[in-house]
């Protein structure tokens, strides 16, 4: 942080500065602009201040101060979230956790590591790779997103088909409650949590129940072997059927990704082109890992299934370099949209796998209805779709159209028994769409839990749940 002269008459800013130090607080408008949104850029709001605590005690002291003085507050990691969970809608005091970025300990024998919330996801794998271990959850933003943020959003990634999402890898948490109390939850990776599953409750609670200040994660042994297949299909229906066939055959690939034609156009125009044909309807990127024995036979079976489903071309990565190239191409996915459209909106629906062809057709119709292109990149194995609505925010009304088209995509997912978010969270973005899934009673069951932890609703208010009464009918006079 830059050293500057500290001058303010605001007693709250002065008090917060006494807790974290004058060099660890921002409060001038020009400094605050970078914190007015996260990866969901449609809504923006300036925070009151941003503080950078360096340990749990400082977080707890800031929270306690806010609690006692009725100041709204929220926690922020790297700000890569895609649903607006870190936007200071109410002029919050933003508690940035980027200085709390230590790898506290690694216990290889019991397969666990302890990190601070600001520790970057990919750094964990990088720190233990030479000893043959890795951390499984791998969101596309893993090179910069923080594990604290991953816990808040229960982040997924390309490999969650086999390895599960963040909640499956969290063994323990230290949490600052909204009144400033500090508790520890989780008991070192016990399968059946003791008492209520607070660990599961906190993970994915989108920063509305507490602020995580220490995280014990599960680490995994590197798989002995890994093979990756790339398959090009003329028809999306064949690609979908191949996905079903692979799962039905009893295989659980580490990853099973699909991209449609528009998505392929974008990733080929972006930083890591592979040379995919531009006239296929879909490609599959399939990765199998595990012990060496049997990997080749699995790959043979996958190739066989792809051929049976009329694949145009299918190939196995010949070396780690080729494999890395394919993944780099896939992982630029969302950002790559910038190469073919000024703006894009990522959606994050989930459907039963068997509904893939049907929902993709509906998305096609939504695209036509709004006159906006929609690219599809998705974790096909999980039924987790990412429709990317392409638009131009400079054109009047197009942002609204894109938002409406995105919401209709989610409605289509909900209608077939799916969900409106697979891994990006609800945040600000999808809070009204919660009504596609939940009744009022079911939402109340959830907000009641929030109120237990967060009775003053000062912590990250206005997220995750629909605005009460917004759908209430106006009474006749």
DSSP designation for 419: B
Number of residues that bind its own copies (CB under 8 A): 80
Site string for its own copies, 246-285 (x = CB under 8 A): --x-xx----------------------------------
CB of 107 to its own copies, least distance (A): 8
CB of 388 to its own copies, least distance (A): 19
In order of 297, 298, 311, the CA distances from 287 in angstroms are 13, 10, 17
Cα–Cα distance for residue pair 428/439, rounded to 1 Å: 19
> Of the candidates 352, 369, 393, 415, which one interacts with its own copies according to CB under 8 A?
352
Does 154 interact with its own copies (rule: CB under 8 A)? yes
**Contacts to its own copies from residues 322-351, by CB under 8 A:** 350
**Contacts to its own copies from residues 356-375, by CB under 8 A:** none
Does 418 interact with its own copies (rule: CB under 8 A)? yes
CB of 24 to its own copies, least distance (A): 28
CB closer to its own copies, 24 vs 305: 305
Only segment of 161-169, 257-265, 275-283, 310-318 that touches its own copies (CB under 8 A): 161-169
CB of 410 to its own copies, least distance (A): 11
Per DSSP, the three-state class of 158 is coil
**Contacts to its own copies from residues 82-141, by CB under 8 A:** 109-110
Does 378 interact with its own copies (rule: CB under 8 A)? no
Only segment of 38-46, 158-166, 230-238, 313-321 that touches its own copies (CB under 8 A): 158-166
Please give the backbone phi and psi of residue 435, each rounded to the nearest 5 degrees, phi first.
-70, -15
Per DSSP, the three-state class of 375 is strand
CB closer to its own copies, 14 vs 222: 222
CB closer to its own copies, 261 vs 384: 384
Tell me how crowded residue 371 is: count the other CB atoms within 10 A of its CB: 10
Residue for token pair 């086999």: 162
Are the beta carbons of 272 and 332 closer than 8 angstroms? yes
The tokens describing 284, both together, are 């599959």
Does 164 interact with its own copies (rule: CB under 8 A)? yes
> Of the candidates 83, 329, 421, 454, which one interacts with its own copies according to CB under 8 A?
421
Cα 444 to the center of its chain, rounded Å: 25
Per DSSP, the three-state class of 216 is strand
> Of the candidates 8, 14, 411, 419, which one interacts with its own copies according to CB under 8 A?
419
**Contacts to its own copies from residues 203-242, by CB under 8 A:** 203-205, 209, 221-224
- Listed in order, strand segments (DSSP E) in 297-447 are 311-316, 343-346, 349-350, 374-379, 384-391
Residue for token pair 């990522």: 346
Are the beta carbons of 242 and 311 closer than 8 angstroms? yes
CB of 33 to its own copies, least distance (A): 31
CB closer to its own copies, 265 vs 289: 289
| Contacts (Cβ under 8 Å, ≥6 apart) of 23 | 1, 3
Cα–Cα distance for residue pair 101/166, rounded to 1 Å: 18
Cα–Cα distance for residue pair 266/264, rounded to 1 Å: 5
């Amino acid at each position: 942080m830059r050293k500057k002269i500290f001058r303010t008459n605001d007693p709250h800013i002065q008090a917060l500065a006494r807790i974290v130090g004058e060099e660890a607080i921002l409060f001038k408008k020009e400094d605050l602009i970078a914190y007015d949104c996260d990866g969901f850029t449609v809504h923006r709001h300036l925070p009151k201040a941003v503080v950078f605590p360096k340990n749990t005690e400082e977080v707890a002291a800031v929270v306690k101060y806010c609690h006692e003085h009725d100041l709204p507050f929220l926690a922020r990691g790297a700000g890569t979230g895609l649903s607006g969970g870190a936007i200071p809608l109410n002029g919050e005091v933003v508690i940035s956790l980027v200085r709390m970025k230590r790898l506290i300990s690694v216990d290889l024998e019991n397969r666990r590591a302890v990190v601070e919330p600001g520790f970057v996801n990919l750094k964990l794998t990088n720190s233990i790779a030479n000893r043959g271990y890795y951390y499984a959850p791998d969101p596309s933003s893993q090179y910069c997103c923080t594990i604290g943020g991953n816990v808040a959003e229960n982040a997924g990634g390309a490999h969650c088909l086999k390895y599960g999402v963040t909640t499956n890898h969290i063994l323990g948490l230290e949490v600052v409650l909204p009144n400033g109390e500090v508790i520890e939850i989780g008991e070192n990776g016990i399968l059946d949590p003791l008492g209520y599953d607070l660990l599961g409750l906190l993970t994915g609670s989108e920063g509305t129940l507490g602020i995580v200040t220490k995280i014990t994660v599960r680490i995994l042994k590197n798989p002995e072997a890994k093979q990756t297949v790339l398959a090009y299909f003329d028809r999306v229906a064949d690609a979908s059927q191949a996905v079903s066939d692979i799962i039905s055959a009893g295989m659980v690939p580490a990853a099973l990704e699909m991209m449609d034609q528009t998505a392929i156009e974008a990733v080929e125009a972006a930083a890591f082109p592979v040379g995919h044909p531009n006239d296929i309807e879909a490609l599959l990127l399939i990765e199998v890992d595990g012990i060496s024995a049997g990997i080749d036979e699995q790959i043979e079976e996958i190739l066989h299934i792809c051929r049976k489903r009329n694949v145009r071309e299918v190939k196995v990565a010949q070396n780690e370099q080729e494999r890395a190239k394919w993944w780099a191409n896939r992982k630029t996915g969302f950002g790559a949209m910038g190469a073919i459209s000024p703006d894009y909106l990522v959606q994050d629906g989930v459907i039963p796998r068997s509904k893939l062809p049907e929902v993709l057709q509906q998305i096609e119709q939504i695209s036509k209805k709004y006159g906006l292109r929609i690219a599809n990149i998705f974790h096909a194995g999980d039924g987790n779709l990412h429709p990317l609505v392409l638009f131009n925010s400079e054109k009047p009304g197009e942002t609204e159209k894109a938002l409406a088209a995105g919401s209709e995509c989610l409605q289509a997912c909900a209608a077939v028994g799916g969900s409106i978010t697979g891994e990006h969270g609800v945040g600000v973005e999808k809070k009204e769409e919660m009504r596609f899934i939940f009744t009022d009673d079911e939402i109340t069951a959830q907000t009641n839990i929030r109120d237990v932890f967060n009775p003053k609703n000062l912590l990250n208010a206005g997220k995750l749940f629909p605005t009460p009464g917004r759908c209430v009918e106006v009474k006749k006079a």
